[in-house]
A and B are shown apart, each in its own frame.
Chain A
Amino acid sequence: MEHRTHPIDGIAAPTLPAPFSEWFATRGWQPRAHQLELLARTQAGRSALLIAPTGAGKTLAGFLPTLTDLADRPKPRPGEARRGVHTLYISPLKALAVDIQRNLNMPVAEMELPVTMETRTGDTPTHKRQRQKHAPPDILLTTPEQLALLIASPDAERFFSHLKFVVFDELHSLVISKRGHLLSLGLARLRRLRPELQTIGLSATVAEPEALRRWLVPQDRPDAMADIVTVSGGAKPHITILETDERVPWAGHSALYAIPKVYEAIKARRTTLLFVNTRSQAELLFRELWRANEDNLPIALHHGSLDVGQRRKVEKAMETNSLRAIVATSTLDLGIDWGDVDLVVHVGAPKGASRLAQRIGRSNHRMDEPSRAILVPANRFEVMECRAALEANYLGAQDTPPLVEGALDVLAQHVLGSACAAPFDADVLYGEVASAAPYAGLDRVTFDRIVEFVATGGYALKSYERYARIRKTKDGLWRIANPRIAQQYRLNVGTIVESPMLNIRMVRPGRGSASRGGPVLGKVEEYFLETLTQGDTFLFSGRVLRFEGIRENECLVSAGGGEDAKVPYYAGGKFPLSTYLASEVRAMLADPERWKTLPPQVAEWLSIQHDKSILPRREDLLVETFPRGNRFYMVLYPFEGRLAHQTLGMLLTRRLERAGAHPLGFVANDYAIAVWGLNDMSAMLKSSKLSLAALMDEDMLGDDLEAWIADSWLLKRTFRNCALISGLVEKRHPGQEKTGRQVTVSADLIYDVLRAHEPDHILMQATWADAAQGLLDVRRLGEMLSRIRGRIVHKALTRISPLAVPIMLEIGKEAVAGDANEALLGEASRLSGEELMQEALEA
């Protein structure tokens, strides 16, 4: 095992108390080098980030500083005041906190250490929480939400008066969300209570460890960073791409062609963990595996929307090694150690090299032996993506998302929480907030606007001064106006707002808002509807539907008649292809030398594309135009992931419409976008009636984006989340839980009123920022538009190109037979990739 350190001067060798060396010795173990180094650094008073693969003894390393310190602690003198918490452990998952406690119990019990340990999560009963406040354990294992509650309580200062360490587990996954923002603010508060506080971050390998190192320490100096201890690799994972004689599909995500081979692999190993990207894929794979399961192997299913009891049963079965295979989604991504998994099968492309590394880490927790993994691409582009991810994993290249600036709704929640704990001085609180990494760039004006927002709503019309929730008193401190405010705050802590599914209800066209009586067709994720405006058509369970509007928690649609579905509906995953992998796939496409590592059928496909059209260079954007049937198509290959493509498709069709191309619809996947219309776009480009450079100009992210967003439901829904997190509307009132529907209605009303009267309100700004970042991937689209400036390569063709086959298949993919009005879509859905490829090959 390789072990790298970054030496700093004056770090003495660690002191390992006698019980520890004896304990290691009796078990025939030796403390690992990184465990000792982390100990030495913390004993020198430093904060540190430990980056290590699974199985490297990360947990013990993270707790060794705590356990040794507690072992050496003098016994309390008689009459000494009760000690507060010594170490706080924060994990993203409740289950992980419980799991860690179980793992730590063994060494603590065997060494007979005088250490108490307890978990505190949303499941902890009130009486136990009360007791914990009076008699805190030495080590408290908890979640970000519970930390927010603890620091907002008036006795926080006493509770944390002995706090020495905060251990953050799976730090890389904690920091990338709003939860991470809340947590960073909590850490800043802890540091003000205990300036000597040391932090220990535990993380899987990440692209930019510096970001995590900064996150762990106060941002008072620009170069402040925690120390880093890196354990690289262990044995190199043994990863292969599934080899098969079957034809690899052109499109789709199910990878059913590979079932027989996957089943063989399961039979050959002890326990196999199968990862897929979405729930529906998990369900499908599970069903198909059981169809192939002639030997009646115990194969189980585990995903987030399953009933908790059922999930626990599966977890239990994994612990006791009584399963041969588990089909799972991301619920099992994080570092929970269950059972003896000796093979990971990843179905579908992993979408990111880091995600792949994390998932493969599930297999074989003895880190000196290689992990085994098989990648199963579901279609031809995924073959290239898998190959790129595989090379990245070998090379140790990482592509975790960059950290984003702290969200303002989260800040609002924290400001109110601060006032609930004790009166605060705005200057001091600003300093504290700006010491948290995500808020290091926060300007004072914005901070003050947030304080105003918390106090009175922060409206330009200052009519609520009298009703302020927090108020600046004569001593210059902000206080809560009455105890009820604190009570309300405690019931609403947290940043996790569930994204509901909406019923799709059929109504008559044009009367959407009034009609409520039609049949419900099914459920659709809210995030899809967020991008629609009235009149857009989309495919759902095989029918073309016309979007009429959203009424409370229902999506109203009418029959789309003979129209083409304009907007594609995806049941696919929400993970976009990472920027890094996208760039690797483009590189692979451009370089015939690298095709040699690809299966022959894929390499052949690319070389035909080379003959018939063009293969773009790594930084180029290829645009093809061609006629097909009674439509004209434009296909673009940006490789920027579905979110960015969906946004681009919306904007592009707007622009094509203005240019007179009469676009009828578009479809997007992770790799390409296809737009089709009634006018010949090849001819328009040739006669300069249409300019690709103008079409793809960065200015589309200005007015066009704004106009589209203003029309879509997206901001309204994002606003609801911001309103909940920021405390403008309440999730729960004392003694009364609001239903999702009530929340929806009132937040929508507020949004309408704000948009009409104060569109620049701070919460509207927060909403905009959220939407641009998360749901639209505007930043990535912007980067792409700037990358391709002057690098657009256009090829006018007389027929479909080989590279266009997968995206063209997406057009009709979801259509099923059964509706007489669907002649057009039916035609598309019946076409096979082979037939389209034949068309491409015609001379």
Chain B
Amino acid sequence: MNSLAPATDASTALTVRIAGHEAVCDWRGVLFFPAMGLMVVSDLHLEKGAAFARRGRMLPPYDTAATLKRLEGVLADYDPEMVISLGDSFHDDEGAAEMPTLFREHLVRIIDKRDWHWIAGNHDPAPPPDLPGHCAREIAIDGLTFRHEPARTAGPGEIAGHLHPGARIVRRGRGVRRACFACDGSRLIMPAFGSLTGALNVLDRAFSGLFERERLTAYMLGRQGIYAIAGSMLR
């Protein structure tokens, strides 16, 4: 889509507090914990075009390159020591194994010497073979739990992905819909980072029971910045 929105004075990153930790929500869709030098990214859905091609729809094979390029950009800005990819890193199970060498090498360069962690997702339950990094179902660090699918019974400090949250506000009769971080101070759900991914409204049934509505904030991703919107404003 052509850029339709003019420049605004929005911030490019906003700080959230979750289970005693301070984190930065970046407008490009990644979460950064400055104290730990940890960056979290979710739902990359790499090789989505290829996944369609395997089913007979020859979509252009360029989505992976686009996602990797954006990923490289945020990594260069934050230069984290540790990175967690929060699941659905590949669009399907065959994605990592069948990934063309060109992309694989790019991805390996991006991972570099960082402490990289692949969390298993529903699209990619098996760990990606032949790629650097550690694989896990979930990771717990200092009161925080990183997993792909939010667990309804989880205690405070859960960071999850999977649901591709989006938010919608209505102002003066008009609606605005964007991908977002959803956070109530106890749990945070990451927006999807992949180039061909859509979003699901946080008020959808799929999110029910996950957040305390009064404390929910949607950090909506704009074209130039990120906007913190109170849960009560969401439609």
Contacts and interface: CB of A to CB of B under 8 A. Distances in A.
Interface of A: 453, 456-459, 461, 463-464, 466-467, 469, 484-485, 488, 507-508, 510-519, 534, 548-549, 551, 728-730, 749-750, 752-754, 756-758, 761
A433 B85 CA distance: 50
Given A510-B5, A517-B170, A753 B178 contact: no
B219 to A, nearest CB: 15
Contacts of B49: 753
A753 B1 contact: no
Contacts of A512: 4-5
A750 B59 contact: yes
A514 B57 contact: no
Contacts of A485: 56
Q: Is the interface of B mostly helix, strand, loop or mixed?
A: loop
A511 B60 contact: no
Interface in B169-205: 170-178, 195-196
B196 A484 contact: no
Nearest to B61: A463
B226 interface: no
Interface of B: 1-6, 49-50, 53-54, 56-63, 65-66, 98, 100, 102, 168, 170-178, 195-196, 222-223
B4 A461 contact: no
Nearest to A507: B174
A753 B58 contact: no
Contact of A514 (B53, B56, B173, B177): B177
Nearest to B49: A753
A749 B178 contact: no
Nearest first, the 10 closest Cβ-Cβ pairs linking A and B are A457-B58, A517-B174, A517-B175, A516-B175, A513-B4, A757-B62, A514-B176, A515-B174, A512-B4, A463-B100
A754 B56 CA distance: 18
A467 B55 CA distance: 8
Contacts of B222: 514
Given A464-B53, A756-B62, A758-B60, A511 B170 contact: no
Contact of B56 (A469, A752, A758): A469
A549 B3 CA distance: 9
A518 B98 CA distance: 46
A739 to B, nearest CB: 15
A508 B170 CA distance: 12
A709 to B, nearest CB: 14
A761 B61 CA distance: 12
Contacts of B174: 507-508, 511, 515-518
Contacts of A551: 1
Contact of B60 (A459, A488, A508): A459
8 contacts: A453-B58, A467-B58, A469-B56, A508-B174, A510-B5, A516-B175, A749-B196, A758-B62
B50 A457 contact: no
B59 A457 contact: yes
A724 to B, nearest CB: 12
B203 to A, nearest CB: 15
A238 B65 CA distance: 68
Contacts of B1: 513, 549, 551, 752
Nearest to A482: B56
Contacts of B172: 508, 517
Nearest to A513: B4
A512 B223 CA distance: 12
A548 B173 contact: no
A730 B175 contact: no
A511 B62 contact: no
A320 B24 CA distance: 78
Contacts of A515: 174-176
Nearest to B59: A750
B176 A750 contact: no
A758 B60 CA distance: 9
Most buried by B among A467, A510, A730: A467
A755 to B, nearest CB: 10
B175 A456 contact: no
B57 A730 contact: yes
B12 to A, nearest CB: 17
Given A467-B54, A510-B4, A519 B62 contact: no
Contact of B62 (A458, A513, A753): A753
B43 to A, nearest CB: 16
Nearest to B64: A463
A458 B59 CA distance: 10
Contacts of B100: 461, 463
A634 B66 CA distance: 47
Contacts of B66: 753, 756-757
Contacts of B57: 728-730
Contacts of A466: 98
Given A484-B56, A511-B5, A749-B196, A461 B176 contact: no
A728 B57 CA distance: 6
B53 A549 contact: no
Contacts of B56: 467, 469, 484-485, 488
A517 B50 contact: no
A469 B58 contact: yes
Contacts of A511: 4-5, 174, 176
Nearest to B100: A463
Nearest to B178: A514
Contacts of B102: 461, 463
B205 to A, nearest CB: 21
B215 to A, nearest CB: 25
A467 B53 contact: yes
Most buried by A among B59, B102, B170, B176: B59
A205 B48 CA distance: 53
A615 to B, nearest CB: 45
Given A510-B5, A534-B4, A549-B4, A754 B175 contact: no
A200 to B, nearest CB: 39
Given A534-B2, A549-B2, A756-B66, 13 more contacts: A458-B58, A459-B58, A459-B60, A459-B62, A464-B53, A510-B5, A513-B1, A514-B5, A516-B175, A517-B171, A517-B176, A549-B4, A753-B66
A757 B4 contact: no
Nearest to B1: A513
A455 to B, nearest CB: 8
Contacts of B61: 457, 459, 461, 463-464
Given A514-B5, A549-B2, A457 B177 contact: no
Given A467-B50, A511-B4, A518 B60 contact: no
Contacts of B58: 453, 456-459, 464, 467, 469, 728
Given A749-B196, A757-B65, A463 B50 contact: yes
Nearest to A519: B173
Contacts of A510: 4-6
Nearest to B196: A749
Contacts of B178: 514
Nearest to B168: A516
A508 B65 CA distance: 35
B4 A548 contact: yes
Contacts of A513: 1, 3-5, 223
A753 B63 contact: yes
A129 to B, nearest CB: 24
A610 B176 CA distance: 58
Most buried by A among B49, B50, B60: B60
B60 A750 contact: yes
Most buried by B among A510, A511, A512, A756: A511
Nearest to A484: B56
Contacts of B60: 457, 459, 750, 753-754, 757-758, 761
B145 to A, nearest CB: 33
B50 to A, nearest CB: 7
A752 B2 CA distance: 10
A750 to B, nearest CB: 6
Most buried by A among B58, B59, B66, B171: B58
A754 B172 CA distance: 37
Contacts of A758: 60, 62
